[in-house]
Structures are given as C-alpha cells and as structure tokens.
Structure 1
Amino acid sequence: MESELEPVHIGSQKRDLAWKHCQMFKIENRIRLKCIYCGKMFSGGGIHRIKEHLAGQKGNGATCPRVNPDVRNLMQQSLDGSIVRTKKKQKIVEETANQLMITNEGETYNPHCEAINGLRLLEAPNPVEPNLHLSMKDEEGTSDRSSERWKRGAVGDASLAPLGEAHPIRGLTLGLTRGKDQVHMAIGRFLYDAGVPLDAVNSAYFQPMIDAIAMEGPGLKPPSYHDLRGWILKNSVEEVKKIVDQYKGTWGRTGCSVLADEWTVEEGKILINFLVYCPEGTMFLKSVDATEIIRSPGALYELLKEVVEDVGVQNVMQVITDSGEQYIEAGKRLTETFPTIYWTPCSARCIDLMLNDFGKFEWINVILEQAKSITTFVYNHLEVLNMMRGYTYGKDFIQPAITRSATNFTILQSMVGLKNSLQAMVTSQEWMDSSYSKNPDGLALIDVIYSQSFWSSCLTIIHLTDPLLRVLRIVGSEKKPAMGYIYEAMYRAKEAIKKELVEKKDYLPYWNVIDHRWNRQLHRPLHAAGFYLNPKCFYSIEGDVPNEIMSGMLDSIERLVPDTKIQDKITKELSSYKNAVGDLGRKMAIRARHTMLPVEWWSTYGGGCPNLARLAIRILSQTCSATGIKQNQISFKLVHHQRRNHIEHQRLNDLSFVQYNLRLRQILHRKNKELDALDPISFDTIDTVEDWVTERVKTSAEYEDSDWRELVQPTANTMFALSPTDENESMVAGNVNSLV
C-alpha cells in the first residue's frame, strides 16, 4: 500500500500549526494524512483529526503515543482556541439576531396590524420548536415585563401576542428563525430605506464592512452623519492619496498616459473625467464641466495642457481622448507644445465604431432583429423566463458588454451556446401545456428557434465579430498594458475574417470597415512601436520588418527621446535586438518571449541594450483606451452644481476623488469581474441591453399582471467571458504586411 502512495506538497496556504506535523499523500485521487511521529495514516477528518490525534483527545481516533509533550500542548491550545472562536462567532450571530428584536420599554407587537406606511406584514409561521422562548431585554439588561407573555407560549400563536402598536423591526423579523436571514433582511431594509443602488453589494468593500461589524459584536454604535462627512472622509482621502502616491512613484520608470473620458450626464451637461494610467493602476485626477467648451478646440487644448503640466511633462507618454474633430485639433496643438508627447484616439471607441458599422450590414441587422424577437419575448413573460432558466440551468442569454455594439454580439454568442436548451424548451410538454405554444407570438418564437438559416447566420456573424471583440477585450484589459498587442490583434482580426469568408469579394467589405477606422483614427506610431518592441510579435515576423512598423518605431524614438546622443545609442542597440545578440538570444529569453509580459522580458534580458530597454519599458507600459468606469457608478451632480458653498465644494471634490479611486482600485483587484452575477432585466444594465429586453409594442393585456416575486432569479456567476481563449494568443500565421 505504501508504495502506491503519491506524496503531495503542502503549500504555504496551509497555515494551521498541525500541517507541520504531518505528511500528505494521494492514492486513487483521495487525499490521506500521515502523522510524522507514529506513522498512522488518516483517510478522513482532515487536519482537525490530526490535531486531535496529536493533542491526545480521545473519541474520534487513536492518540499519538510518540508525539513530543511540547507539540501535544501546542495542539491542545490550538484546539481550545478554535472552540472559543467558534462559540464567539455563534454568540455574535445569536446576539445580533436578538438585537434586531429588542425594542424600547413599553413597545408591543401586534401581528394583525399594518406598519411602515401601510406595508402589510406576513404572519409569522409556526416555528420548528413550538416551545421556543424569546428573551427580550431593555437597554439596562433587565427583563422586559411585556415579554413574559411571549415566554409562556409559542411565537407563532397570535393569541398570546400583547396588543398595541406594531414595531417595524420586530414585525419584519419575527417570521425568520435563522440568524443569517434576519441579518440579510436588516441589510435589505437599510439599502431600501436609504435609496442605495442594490449593486452596492457587489462592492469589494462590502464583505470587509460586514466582517468588521461582526468582529466588534452587538452594541456597536454606528458612525454619525458628521463622522462620515468629517474624520472618516478625511482619513479616507489620506488613504487614497497614499495609494495614488505609490502609482506616481512608478511614473519615472514606466511613464504614464493621461486619459480624458467624456460623459454626458443629467441636464445635458458634458463632463470630462481625467485619469492617469500606469501598469501599477489607474488613478482619477479630477472632473471638469466642459459643457461650454466642448466644441472649442482652443479651450480643450488649454484644458489638456493644464492636466499634462499637473501630471508632469516628463512623465506623460501620451494623451488619449475621443476622436472628434475638436479633440484632433486640440491634440495636434498639444503635441506641438510638448514635442515629447503623443496624442492618441481611444482605441475602445474606435473598435466599438467598427462593430457598430458591422451591425449596419443589412443581413446582419436582420439576424440581430430576429434574435431580439426571441429575447424580448422571453424576458417580458414571467412563465417563459422561468421555463427558459430551468432548461439553461439558470444561465441567461443577455451578456452585457462595455458598449451597446459589443453587447449585440456577445448576446448572439451566448444564444448560440444555449441553442439546444432553447430547442428543448419549445418541444417540452411544459411548453405544449402553456398558453404561449398556441398564440401567434409563441408560434413566431418557435419558427425562429427552429430556423436552420438563422442559426447558421448567427455562427457566421460570431466568426466575423469575435476577433474584434477580442481586440476590445485587449485594449480594455486591466491586467496587462495593451500597447504591445493592439497592432497584432488588429492583424489577427482581419486574418480571421479572411479565413471565414475566403473569397476576396466576400471579406473585402468588412476589411474596408476596419481599414476606414484603423487608417483614419486608430493606427499610430506608438502602436507600431509597441508591436516592434514586443518580442513575441517581433520575432514572429516572416521576412523583413514592414516599412510602416519600422517607421513608427523610428518616429517614437525621435519624439520620446529628445537627446540625440541617446537616440544614436538606441539605433545601434536595435541591431542587437534584431539579431538577438547576447542575453536577448539566450534559450531562456527565447522561451520567455511567449510566456513573459513584454515589460518583464525587457527588464530581465535587456541589460545589454540599456537605452533601448528603457524606452521599450516606457512604451510597452501604456494603455490604448480612455474608458474609465460606467457612467452610472459615479455621480458628479453635486460637485458641478451651480449653487455651492466654497468649503462644501472642496469636501465634495474630495468625496468624488475617494469614490472614483476606490472604484478603480476595486476593478483592478477584483477577480472574475466578467463573471459578476447581473440580472439582465435590472435597471443597472438597461443602458446597454434595452433593445434586447424591452418590448417595443405591448402584445397582449394578459401579460400585464406578471408578478416578479414568482420569478426564478439568474444563477450567480453564469456570465460568459467576452472571449473564451487567452487574450494574447499567438499571431495567426501569415505576413503582417497584409495589415499595412
């Protein structure tokens, strides 16, 4: 048996003290633990069983006869501590639940009355234990006389309840027998009463807040209104500034990009939010009301110039804005004033325009409308939506992306993935027994779902648009700077479309759409230089480097490195890079071209070309997109209000500074952000999915009484990723000259 055991390494994440006193083995895909003192093998019970074994506790297994007394005592202390912590946590939950039922002296409860502005309360169900007693105390800890009648009988017996005015808290929690449910109800009531957006619970800071409250225990006095406006905000500003200072500390080495993210908000105001990007993280700088100057290139130039000077001309590599004519003119003047800086249009916006142009092709638009006829029907009829979620195991068609154009095609992808589930639903007995199987809308739904030409066209559209969705994902990535990948990604997109349609007459119209946006707005010297300096891309080029890429590289050297002596040194070092001389040609360096980020590769192997490596790191550390966070996640209404007190205005500026930077940091560190559970029919996503979930014309009055309370909610973490494969996959074989 011992010879069949496969040793398993115990990683650093195993932090319990007992892990140092046992070994882990695997046999037939089962994990077993072995005491290092007596050699006893345990097939169950986990590390807790080992700890009991070493501590000498009888009952769940034999005790170890050979363990050192010091180790035995240490294990016993650890077990005692675990018991204490478990009991403390259980006590906190119980006391928190009881605290929700505590009322001031003299308050009583009547389950047959209405409370809170006429809200009808549900009667408390009969408890599992009919003799359950509720102990209620006043603030001094003495028994409340009014609770004696509760102690003598069942909670669910309304005849035993004292008569009087209903209390909102007690009335709403009485029917819940589990402490966790009571806590969740309390959280919900607070969010509803305060008007807090419900997606606030998705905040990365929500769980730490809950943990901090639970650790403090019952009786915690919450912060006051003045605390939140005063010392808490002041401390938060200082915390965020420390994080921002960490970002700023890297700008000298990596450089940074100034982002101008334009928003149109309430009352037609146009705001420009200025952010600064570096690989360490993106920081929010300030928000400017640009309503009066948005059409003036001169005024925009002055605004951009002021921001660049605030950040530091020596740090800024590029300024990214929208691609409107006024920004183009302002950007041209900016680069004339600062000859070491580039102006670049937002790549995400340009890619979105390409997708929008694709959607205007007549045959694609027809298929999108047919697909929308399915989703609008399903998502506006409760019985059908519940039925669909049953057949898809809680998965939804609606997959919101960063823009409406991208959303159109991600939804199409998810629909194709759930095709079999849809077809199974409309052939089921459940569907046949429903009224929808016989009405015109239901019959039209079946026609589309079983149309072979519809699904075939959907697949073709997916093959045409998925490459651009991949590019959009790359330029919006928070994990790695996009500058080293966008040129190759655009090449791959065109090659994938060519491979799908084969004939030049078929793929050329789509290439023309891409070329129109690429050549007019997107293609920039920095993008070409990023391709050239990315070793994975550069060493994959067949033959000579295309002239346009080489020209972009040389242009970047001249603009970004004003010292002519260093320019000459970089030019010489380009030869070493091209021929993989020295450390650049090591076997490790060759393997690392495909595994390391370009910046890491240059930091590790670029020592023989110090000047080129320094420039490469700065170029490859830049983003290509000016898109910040969703517009509805930050409100600048108060900051830009016409009537304001100067002192309060500064406080509001600090509040928006903290709020925006915390959101940015949350996005950077959140795992699986694309898998966040969102309800497709919620108001939070309506901006991008409205055409897919809203019926244009009401079809029948029989659907008006749909009760949302009977709706099966979507399953958590079923959102599809924008692209199923790695965003930096190798370039499609071919000649990169086809792009330029």
Structure 2
Amino acid sequence: MHINDEADNRVRKKVNCLYCDIATKDLSWLKCHLAGTGGAVFPCPKVPIDLKETLRNELLENEKEDLNVPMKRSSCTYMDTLKSGPTQTHVNEKRCKTEPSENSGIESKVTLKNPQASFTSADDSLSRKVKGHIGKFFYESGLDLDAVNLPSFQKMISLCSGETKYQIPTPQELKGSIFKDVMKEMSDYVNDVRNSWADTGCSILLDGWTDEKGRNMINILVDCPKGTIYLHSSDISDIIGNLDSMQLFFEKILMEVGIRNVVQIITYSTEAVMKEVGKVLMDKYRPIFWTVSASCCIELMLEKLGTMDLIKETFQKAKVITKFIYSRPDVLKFMKERTEGRDLVQRSKKSIIPFLTIENIVLEKEILKTMCLSSDSQSLFITSCVEGKRVAELVADRSFWSGASIVLKAAIPLVRVIEWLDENIEVQIAYIYETIDQAKETIKEGFKHKKSQYMPYWKVIDDVWNEHLYSPLHAAGYFLNPNLFYSSDVYIDPEVATGLLCCIVRSTEDIRLQDRITVQMEQYRTAKGDFGVGSVVDKRSDTSPARWWSKYGGGCPQLQRLAIRSLSQPCDGASRFHLKRGLAETLLTQGRNQIEQKRLTDITFLRYNMQLQNFACGRTDYLRLNEMDPARDWLVDKSQNDDLECMEMGAGETTEEFY
C-alpha cells in the first residue's frame, strides 16, 4: 500500500507540455524540456524562441548561483549530448530507468530508449545542413543576424518546412560555428579555383569607383574558367596620382596571384594614370597584357555618339514624349492597351537606356500616331493640353523620325554588343574582335555603304578601340578560334597577324619555343595532322575554343598551351558581376579594433565570393536587378514628385527603387 502511495505521488507530479503535449517528470524537467538544454530531457520542438531563450538563461543563472542543483544541465544543445560519449549516455540511461511508467505509475523495469533515438547522425547532418543554408542566406544578403529571432522569419521557415521541423540557428551560432563552417567551405572553393590558374592562366579584374566621401576605392577580382574569386579591397586615394606607388600596388597583387599565372589585367578606367601604369607593367612583365573592360569601352563609344548634334537633339525630343506619357496615368493606360503592355522605357543599363528608348518609340510609331493624331475623342483629349500638343507635333514631325532612324543605324549595333557581353561570358575573347567588326559592318550597311554617312560613327568606334580596348590577345583569340579561322569568310588582316606574333613573342623569351610555336602554327593553319581529322573538324563550331584546343591540340603542345591560356580569358571587366560596393566602403572605414576589422574582412570575403560563385552557376538575375539604373530622366521631370506617384500607379512594374 505504501509503495502504491509513492507511485501515485510520482504520477501526480508529472506535467504535460502545452506545446507538444509530452509528459515530463516535474516542473524542473518541464523547464529543461522547454529550454532544450540537453541531458535526458527531450527538447520541445514547438516552443516559441523567446520563451526558450528566457528559460535557458534562467537555468544557466541558477547553475552559476548554486553548484548543488539536483539535476544539473549543461548549456550545450541536445545534439551535443548525443555526441558526448559512452559515459554520458550511460548516465542518461540510468535516469531513464528510474522514470515512472506513464501507464502503470510504478517504476519501469525496462530501460527506456532515448526519445530521439530516430534522430540519429543522419538527422543531425540534415539539421546542420539546414542551418548552414540559413546562414549562407544571411551572409550573402547582408541581413542582421538577429533577424532569425523575428516571428515572421520563424513562421516563414515553419511554413516552408511543412511537417518537418527544423531548428532555426541562433544569432550566436550564425556568428560562431555556422560562420566557421561556411567560411571553411568557401575557402576550399577559392583554393580549388586558385589551383586551376597554372593550367588555364587567369585575368586580374579591377573594379574601381569614387565613394560619397571622395575616396578612390578598388576591388580586386581574379577570373578564370573555373570561376571568379574576390581577393580584397583597397583605398588607393593616397596613391592614385603617383605612378611609382601605383606600380608597386599592382606588383604586390601580381605577386599574390603569381606572375606566371596572370595573362592580363582588365581595368575599369581610361584615365591617363591607369594607361601609364599599364605600359610600365607590360614593359616589366612581358607575358602580361593590360586592357580596359570591353563594356566600359563600348559604353564610352555610345557616350561619344550621344554628344553628336543630331543624336543629342533626337534624345531631347524623345524625352518630351516619354515624360508626357509616363506622367499621365490615363495616357499611359491608353498606350499600354494598344502595345499589349510593352513599355517605351525599360529597365536596363543606364548607358543604353536612351538608345533602347528610341528603338521602342520607332517600333511603336504607328500606335503613337494613332494616339496623338487621330480624330477620336481620346486622342483629342490627350492633345488638349499644352504638353499633349507638343507631343503631337513631334509625332507628326518627319525630321524626328528621320533622326530616330539615324540613331538606330549608328548605335543599336553597339547596344547589341553590350547585351552580348552580358550573356556570353566564356567565349568573349575568342569573338570580341569579330563582334566589333560585325557591328561596324552593320552600321555601314545601315547607311547603304555611303562613306560620308557612316564614317563619322566608325571614327568614334575606331578611336576608342585603338586607344583603350584593343589588345593583342583579342587578335590571338580571333586567329586561334577554330570556328572563325576555318570559316569561308575568314580574313587575317595585318592587325591580327601582328597581334598574334606579339602574343607568341611575349609568351616566352626562349627563342626555340617561339620557333616551335611558329612551326605548329603552320600545321594549324593548313589543318594538317590532328587538326584535319573528321571528328575534330565537326567539333569546331559546337565546342568552346578553349575546350577544343584542350581536347584536340595535344599534337602541338606549345601552341596548345598558348591557345588555352589566351582563349580562357574574358574581355569584359568586373562590372558585370554587379558587386555591391557599400560593403567594401564599410570595410575600408577606419576606427575599428582588430577583432571587429578581422570579422568584417571575413564577412566581405565570404559575401563577395558567394555572389561570384552564384554568378559562375548562372544565378545572376537578382544581382543584375540590383544594378539596373533608373530611367528617371526619360520618364518625368525630377521636380514633379506628384507625377512620380502617378507614374508608379500607372506603370505598375516601375518602382521608386528602379529610379
């Protein structure tokens, strides 16, 4: 009878968790269950995070105040207790033996299994993986790590996971163990990329800008077929005007990357000081070439075209049309109903927005005429105001449409080159020479081969090409590209021949190796030996040039190495990666202690390289969207704040962030 009374007392002490309904031994066990502090107590999977943290802190404080607490719990997680070894497991099993049976109310003679026996190492691995991906999301996005405690974030994870319940990492884990794991993973990836430089060569990409404080900042990236990695950021404000200091700065970068690995340096600037530094480095390190980013140079071509009187005047007239349409919701709705939702002004790079807008206006010419010049009531209403009458006059003006046609003939081929650069990363250097040449030929055809008409635009292109963009690597890329070289309309002009010879001579100082490359070049030129085998011929057009040489150029090893290293490089610079510069600006702000600076350096390294890794995998849409420049000048006057709101309501897709 006495034994039964004792059992009844023990049963009455049991309490149920309100969140998961599990029965616990007493109130102290319930606290450990809700706090998830380990031991033999199963952690509650449904307890709110704020209550969990409050109880955990309370238990830890009790441990500090009283070392003789009957059932002391460690501060480690339940997962840690599963890894604590045989001794701890034995203690837990002993405690389970004395736990009363839920059915009989008396001591169980059977050793109870751990309530999370099914939550084995495989589940532990899955949990760590989930936490790791959550950590990567925070590191890459730059969000405050404390956001994991927000109820909305926890609800989102709960809804996404469905019935499967995952532990959300704490801010401490995101700053500690998870961060270390992700950093190690990224470091391994970076080292893997580095190990490929000796075979394919690499290009140093410079991403420079001036921040709001007037500092000259620069990010250093290294690109190769394996991927692009971020090295570090620097403030070069104190050395930007000093040739010797700039030379020393870049020599340190070359030493860090490995001089033998570097094929070229692609800069972001056409300024004289950068050009002088490039000449000095090319003279001192002969295998290395210096050039300006292709997209930067083509944007410069478009900028120069935009200053020509006829094109400038056409832009001004087009702005009158777009500003009127986008500042009037009723007019915008009327137009979109007839264009099936197409916009005249679209999201794109700032440099090409004016030209794309002219192109869209020409495409919608008939709709604009119907909207402004017809006799129906809607058209009469649109043209009843002063601005509407001005737009109607422009739409009826033949000189406007003539000017717009000239803009398209002169500039759209270059706009297509910029779009091509954005879409084709791997084969740029093998085709850039041909692509620029095709753009010029398209302009020539647009003007019916009338030299007096197309030559002014050719001159703009040639001036930028010769002064900033052209590199002997571009000529070598054209010659060594089997898809172009073996085509029926290949043309090896003196510039290509000279550029190829320059690459051969600069690639090695050994005269004997230069002679071998020259002999092997003749074999390639005449398609003799392995170069003329049927399967090799078939692969010329459907295999990237660098891979083609890697697979089929083994019979000419010296020429093969030159071809692979030349064709494996980009011709566009760092701007295509759209890295957020604010992170580097924060990193290079003075006033932190060493620990804080080290952590920010690690975060910058991790975040930039995660974005570059995503770019290598083709996941670039979210990066590009962040860098799409606003077309505000083409939509409304900056002073018309009320019209901005109207335009947002009418355009739908156009947002304040876009501006």
Please report the TM-score for the alignment, with normalisation by the length of structure 1: 0.62
Write 1 or 2 for the structure with the bigger share of helix: 2
Q: Which amino acid aligns with 1:327?
A: M
- The alignment yields a C-alpha RMSD, in angstroms, of 3.7
Describe the SS at the equivalent of 1:555: helix
Describe the SS at the equivalent of 2:583: coil
1:566 and 2:513 aligned: yes
| Residue 538 (structure 1) shift | 2.1
Preserved CA contact (<8 Å) 2:287 2:506: yes
Partner of 1:490: 436
Distance change (3 Å), C-alpha of 1:433 and 1:565: closer
1:283 and 2:229 aligned: yes
Describe the SS at the equivalent of 1:285: strand
Preserved CA contact (<8 Å) 1:391 1:422: no
Partner of 1:509: 456
Partner of 1:714: 653
Describe the SS at the equivalent of 1:377: helix
Partner of 2:386: 440
Q: Which amino acid aligns with 1:527?
A: H
Q: Which amino acid aligns with 1:648?
A: E
- The C-alpha deviation readout for 1:83-132, integer Å capped at 9, x for no partner, is xxxxxxxxxxxxxxxx9x9999xxxxxxxxxxxxxxxxxxxxxxxxxxxx
Q: Write out aligned runs for 1:81-480 (5 A).
A: 214-215=160-161, 222-321=168-267, 322-402=269-349, 404-426=350-372, 432=378, 436-477=382-423, 479-480=425-426
**Residue 465 of structure 2: which of 485, 502, 518 is its match?**
518
**Residue 548 of structure 1: which of 492, 495, 505 is its match?**
495
Alpha-carbon separation, structure 2, partners of 1:212 and 1:307: 47
1:606 and 2:553 aligned: yes
Distance change (3 Å), C-alpha of 1:529 and 1:694: same
Q: How many residues matched? A: 511
1:690 and 2:637 aligned: no
Alpha-carbon separation, structure 1, partners of 2:176 and 2:380: 59
Alpha-carbon separation, structure 2, partners of 1:211 and 1:524: 51
1:630 and 2:572 aligned: no
Describe the SS at the equivalent of 1:273: strand
Distance change (3 Å), C-alpha of 1:708 and 1:446: closer
1:657 and 2:605 aligned: yes
| Residue 709 (structure 1) shift | 7.7
Distance change (3 Å), C-alpha of 1:638 and 1:461: same
Q: Which amino acid aligns with 1:608?
A: G
Alpha-carbon separation, structure 1, partners of 2:427 and 2:158: 35
| Residue 269 (structure 1) shift | 1.7
Describe the SS at the equivalent of 2:588: coil
Distance change (3 Å), C-alpha of 1:708 and 1:524: closer
Q: Which amino acid aligns with 2:578?
A: K
Alpha-carbon separation, structure 2, partners of 1:444 and 1:355: 28
Please report the TM-score for the alignment, with normalisation by the length of structure 2: 0.70
1:577 and 2:518 aligned: no
Identical positions, percent? 33
Unaligned 5+ segments in structure 2 are 1-45, 52-137, 145-152
Distance change (3 Å), C-alpha of 1:103 and 1:293: closer
Distance change (3 Å), C-alpha of 1:389 and 1:219: farther
Preserved CA contact (<8 Å) 2:301 2:461: yes
1:534 and 2:481 aligned: yes
Preserved CA contact (<8 Å) 2:294 2:571: yes
Preserved CA contact (<8 Å) 1:263 1:271: yes
Alpha-carbon separation, structure 1, partners of 2:487 and 2:566: 20
Q: Which amino acid aligns with 2:243?
A: P
- With 483-492 and 242-251 compared, the bigger mean Cα shift is at 242-251
Unaligned 5+ segments in structure 1 are 1-98, 105-190, 198-206, 679-683, 720-740
| Residue 358 (structure 1) shift | 0.8
Preserved CA contact (<8 Å) 1:474 1:486: no
Distance change (3 Å), C-alpha of 1:456 and 1:433: closer
Distance change (3 Å), C-alpha of 1:317 and 1:695: same
Alpha-carbon separation, structure 1, partners of 2:443 and 2:648: 45
- The C-alpha deviation readout for 1:385-427, integer Å capped at 9, x for no partner, is 344443333332223434x332221232233334444445557
| Residue 355 (structure 1) shift | 0.8
Preserved CA contact (<8 Å) 2:204 2:222: yes
Partner of 1:77: none
- The C-alpha deviation readout for 1:312-348, integer Å capped at 9, x for no partner, is 1111101111221111221222223322211222222
Preserved CA contact (<8 Å) 2:289 2:471: no
- The C-alpha deviation readout for 1:618-663, integer Å capped at 9, x for no partner, is 1011111223333656532321112111111111111111221222
